Amino acid sequence: MKKALALLLALVMVLSLVACGDSATGTTEPKGDAPVVENPDGGEENPAVEEGKVFNIYAWNEEFKGFFEKYYTVPEGVTVNWIITPNDGGAYRNKLDEALLNQENVPADEKIDMFLLEVDHNIVQYANSEFTQDIQALGVTDFSNTYPYTVQAASDASGVVKGVSFQCCPAALIYRRSIAKDVLGTDDPAEVQALLDSWEKFNAVAADAKAKGYYMTASDAATYRVFSDNVTAPWVDEAGNLQFDAQIDAWKAQAKEFSDKGYTINTGIWDEPCTAQMFADGKTMCYFGPAWYFNFSMGNAQDPEKGCYGDWAITMGPQAHFWGGTWLMASASSDNPTMLADIMDTFINDEEVCTNLVANEAQFSNNQAVNAKFAADPEYGNDFLGGQNDVAVFVELAKNIKFENKTIYDQIINEQLQSNWREYCQGNVTEEEAMANFYKAINENYPEVVTP
Amino acid sequence: MSRQNSRLSRRKSISYAKWGYLFIAPFFIIYAIFTLYPQLLTIYNSFFENYRSGLRQVGPTYVGFENYVKLFTPDKTGSIDILKYTWNTIVLWVGGAIPQITIALLLAIFFTSYRLNIRGQQFFKTVIYMPNLIMASAFSMLFFTLFSTVGPVNDLLLNAGVIPEPYDFFAEKISVRGLIMLMNFLLWFGNTTILLMAGIMGIDQTLFDAAQIDGASSVQVFFRVTLPLLMPILIYTIITAMIGGLQMFDVPQILTNGGGTPNRTSMTLIMYLNNYLKTSKNYGMAGAISVIIFIITGILSLFVYRSLTRKED
């Protein structure tokens, strides 16, 4: 009996050790995604000078990965490891935050070297944290050609720059030329702009479009970013109270009006009913977005068979705004500082790369000199936009960008307001219920935010 | 004789007890580490304010029963969320479980019947079990695509002239709940069939023969012989299905993109729990919800067990 007890106790100890070991490795987040990398050098010689063999990049989609693989030459012997998690519902940020908070416990090759952020992720929070590092110290010092807001956005409170953006994101009204001709009688950007330069005109034209069997927008949230970028106060004030800007109220009213009158479709901007409208047989006149929207998110319009390549054009629309943009942040735990700095420098200062981004990828680069060159070039035209010089339009629009009123809550609040308000627009719930559900969602995600 | 007996029994008790404890030890150890300890930890956590806001950690601070009070505080529209989600969960489970158990019972009887002697049984058994092998998340994505306003189901109905314009399946309470019930039914009826078949095959065949000789109809055989003898397995099936049902998560979560739309009428208890965990890592509130789910599961299991075993008497 004693022996059995001893054995049992021993078993308990072994098992609990195994269990502890499990939970310890279980928390090393990126492990599951990281491919096993052979390290022939073993990293024994000169560990102080030798840089890491694995470069880990956290991202939420394949956009930057595509440019990176095309235009950046990875130093020999280094493997680039992409850890991609979808953005929706805050999934990417949850994964990133988990990983950042756990950097101390993972081996060098699993540490994050660079992570991507967008405006809604609240870049300032990360720039102000200990998880990012000064890129000027790493050798990225020339910001003379970048748009100032992109540097300001990635700087901490004392002005130390922690990352760069490879794009500048003034957003425009993207309209379908053939539908504009039918509804407005013209597809010329300047004339279309004159007919749609205020919300009153925009709403009136929506009625005309409806009368001819078209949708003005393909989602009740299509115009959301135009309004939300023009707010005069952040979503949450200093005391932690949720507040509604007049611009947000204006969007809510418009979304309801458009839904009731059938000017739009009750669906999210990333959902299939909205993107399906981009095909040639779609009936929607207007989309809103920056360069990355039409070159990355309008794949259906570019479809060789069902798309309508060339049947689009851009103009400022009712209100100037900017939307999104991807920032490359320097992780404090990087073991590849030289490569990290080199990547950042390449995507803002390498003229050839920036030129390729504009010419081949229809990007609006974060290099003012390159953009100016294209804007002034009479030969340049974007085929997708029917030969329109989009860079020239964006150069003008970029002057309006003001980077302000951002909070760490923006992503979830924007997503939740759109989806809960949609239920009201569809008539499934009353206004009070829709707002109550919106507040509930905020309280679940952010207990510290005080809702009305 | 007596000396031999006593020696035998003594040896028996010593050796068997020793090996017996040894063999059941792994279960208890694993249970203690992976179930009991986390359970106690959950209860402990539910008394703390403990969450994360972005990169900032708040708490843990002891708050007593505050989390529970918050859970049972009615909102502005007067409804208490956790009760609403409990009701949703039960409706979604019952709606899926009734057809699931009825169909499974029928199929199990058909497959085990010597008189019907269905050919190609192996094939059918495999086919009905198939949906269970698909991940629930993949299955939900499939349904999401199928029933979208621009999906094939709407296309079919439009072309057949059944509906004049696309019907948004995800905008109405009835259709969303119906789809969730249908999916859970499809996912699980094969599994239940196999379990019930095992139960029926465990019944002594001579009892069926005797009943037939006595002139019992197949309906009588079912209600007087099969069902009473199948009760233990049936109760087991229903209780495990119910516990699974109360923990329903993947299907409604993915079908409604986490929103439990419309108006949170397809939000289940575990989805509610997940809302507190995914961004804010709110272990306090999530712990409180877990404790409530635990209590609800306990009460319902007892209730189901009692009501079904009483019938047997």
Q: Is residue B288 part of a domain?
A: yes
pLDDT 10s digits, A205-220 = 999 999 999 999 999 9
Give the range among A5-19, A182-196, A327-341, B43-57 with minimum mean pLDDT: A5-19
Q: Is residue B218 part of a domain?
A: yes
pLDDT 10s digits, A357-371 = 888 888 888 888 888
Same domain, B22 and B136: no
If you search the block for the tokens 């502890």, which residue do you land on?
A20
Same domain, B27 and B87: no
CB spacing of A441 vs B58 below 8 angstroms: no
pLDDT 10s digits, B39-65 = 999 999 899 988 888 777 887 888 888
Please enumerate, as own/partner, the contacts of B112-118 that have beta carbons within 8 Å and a separation of 24 or more. Answer: B112/B197, B112/B200, B112/B201, B115/B218
Chain A interface mutation, best of B158, B263, B266, B274, highest count of A Cβ atoms under 10 Å: B263
Q: Is residue B53 part of a domain?
A: no
What is the CATH classification number for the domain harbouring B182?
Answer: 1.10.3720.10
Sorting pLDDT into bands at 50, 70 and 90, what band is B14?
low
pLDDT at A37: 41
What CATH architecture applies to the domain A171-321+400-445? 3-Layer(aba) Sandwich (3.40)
pLDDT at A22: 38
Query: Which among A15, A276, A445 has CB closest to B29?
Result: A15
pLDDT at A205: 92
CB spacing of B263 vs A4 below 8 angstroms: no
Give the range among A130-134, A226-230, A433-437, B256-260 with minimum mean pLDDT: B256-260
Rounded Cα gap, residues B47 and B148, in angstroms: 42
Distance from CA of A128 to the nearest CA of B (A): 11
- SS in 3 state form for chain B? CHHHHHHHHHHHHHHHHHHHHHHHHHHHHHHHHHHHHHHHHHHHHCCEEEEEECCEEEEEEECCCHHHHHHCCCCCCCCCHHHHHHHHHHHHHHHHHHHHHHHHHHHHHHHHCCCCCCCCHHHHHHHHHHHHHCCHHHHHHHHHHHCCCCCHHHHHHHHCCCCCCCCCCCCCHHHHHHHHHHHHHHHHHHHHHHHHHHHHHCCCHHHHHHHHHCCCCHHHHHHHHHHHHHHHHHHHHHHHHHHHHHCCCHHHHHHCCCCCCCCCCCCCHHHHHHHHHHCCCCHHHHHHHHHHHHHHHHHHHHHHHHHHHHHHC
Q: Does A423 touch chain B (CB under 8 A)?
A: yes
pLDDT at A28: 36
pLDDT at A2: 56
Range of the domain at B194: 70-312
| Angle, helices A390-398/A368-376, rounded to nearest 10 degrees | 130
| Angle, helices A2-26/B2-31, rounded to nearest 10 degrees | 10
Q: Is residue B239 part of a domain?
A: yes
Same domain, B191 and B111: yes
CB spacing of A447 vs B149 below 8 angstroms: no
CB spacing of B55 vs A126 below 8 angstroms: yes
Indicate whether B294 pLDDT > 60. yes
Sorting pLDDT into bands at 50, 70 and 90, what band is B13?
low
Span between the terminal Cα atoms of chain A, in Å? 66
Across all residues in chain A, what is the average pLDDT? 84
Q: Is residue B61 part of a domain?
A: no
Sorting pLDDT into bands at 50, 70 and 90, what band is A8?
low
pLDDT at B112: 85
pLDDT 10s digits, B131-171 = 888 888 898 999 998 998 888 898 899 888 888 888 888 88
Q: Does A148 touch chain B (CB under 8 A)?
A: no
Question: What does the domain layout of chain A look like in residue ranges?
Answer: 52-168+325-376, 171-321+400-445
Give the range among A9-13, A259-263, A414-418, B199-203 with minimum mean pLDDT: A9-13
Please answer whether residues A403 and A109 qualify as being in contact, where contact means their C-beta atoms are separated by less than 8 angstroms.
Answer: no
Q: Is residue B54 part of a domain?
A: no
A316, HSE (Cβ side, Cα atoms, 13 Å): 21
- Residue-wise DSSP of A48-93: TTPPPSEEEEEESSSHHHHHHHHH--PPTT-EEEEEE---GGGHHH
Sorting pLDDT into bands at 50, 70 and 90, what band is A106?
confident
Across all residues in chain B, what is the average pLDDT? 85
**Share above pLDDT 90 across residues of chain B, in percent, rounded to a whole number:** 25
Q: Is residue B62 part of a domain?
A: no
CB spacing of A12 vs B18 below 8 angstroms: no
Rounded Cα gap, residues A111 and A100, in angstroms: 9
CB spacing of A11 vs B150 below 8 angstroms: no
Virtual torsion, Cα A411, A413, A417, A420, nearest 10 deg: 100
Rounded Cα gap, residues A119 and B235, in angstroms: 54
Nearest CA in chain A to B20: A4
**Share above pLDDT 70 across residues of chain A, in percent, rounded to a whole number:** 89
Strand partners, A217: A286
pLDDT 10s digits, A408-426 = 888 889 999 999 999 899 8
Q: Is residue B254 part of a domain?
A: yes
Domain count, chain B: 2
- Which residues on A lie below 8 Å from B21 (Cβ)? 4, 8
Cβ atoms within 10 Å of A327's Cβ, excluding its own: 24
Same domain, B93 and B207: yes
Burial (CB < 10 A; 0-12, 13-18, 19+), residue B207, is middle
Cβ atoms within 10 Å of A370's Cβ, excluding its own: 25
Cβ atoms within 10 Å of A316's Cβ, excluding its own: 20
Indicate whether A166 pLDDT > 80. yes
Same domain, B159 and B38: no
Same domain, B133 and B16: no
Q: Does A15 touch chain B (CB under 8 A)?
A: yes
pTM of the predicted structure, to 2 decimals: 0.81
Mean pLDDT over A32-42 rounds to 40
pLDDT at B7: 52
Rounded Cα gap, residues A206 and A183, in angstroms: 9
If you search the block for the tokens 């330069």, which residue do you land on?
A197
If you search the block for the tokens 């004693």, which residue do you land on?
A2
Single out the residue of A205, A228, A175, A231 nearest to residue A384, CA to CA. A175
Same domain, B129 and B274: yes
Same domain, B175 and B260: yes
Please answer whether residues B9 and B3 qualify as being in contact, where contact means their C-beta atoms are separated by less than 8 angstroms.
Answer: no
Query: Which among A15, A97, A440 has CB closest to B55?
Result: A97
Rounded Cα gap, residues A121 and A242, in angstroms: 18
pLDDT at A46: 41
Single out the residue of A321, A280, A330 nearest to residue A300, CA to CA. A280
Single out the residue of B44, B39, B121, B52 nearest to residue A98, CA to CA. B52
Distance from CA of B54 to the nearest CA of A (A): 7
CB spacing of A428 vs B53 below 8 angstroms: no
Same domain, B120 and B153: yes
CB spacing of A447 vs B25 below 8 angstroms: no
Rounded Cα gap, residues A175 and B28, in angstroms: 66
Rounded Cα gap, residues A192 and A188, in angstroms: 6
Q: Does B59 touch chain A (CB under 8 A)?
A: no
Question: Which of the four CATH numbers 2.102.10.10, 3.40.190.10, 1.10.287.3510, 1.10.3720.10 does domain A52-168+325-376 have?
Answer: 3.40.190.10
Chain A 371-400, CB below 8 Å of chain B: which residues?
A: none
Same domain, B137 and B208: yes
Indicate whether A183 pLDDT > 60. yes
- Which residues on A lie below 8 Å from B263 (Cβ)? 423, 428-429, 433, 437
pLDDT at B6: 52
pLDDT 10s digits, B86-129 = 999 999 999 999 999 999 999 888 888 877 777 888 888 888 88
Chain A 267-326, CB below 8 Å of chain B: which residues?
A: 267, 271-273, 276
Same domain, B157 and B199: yes
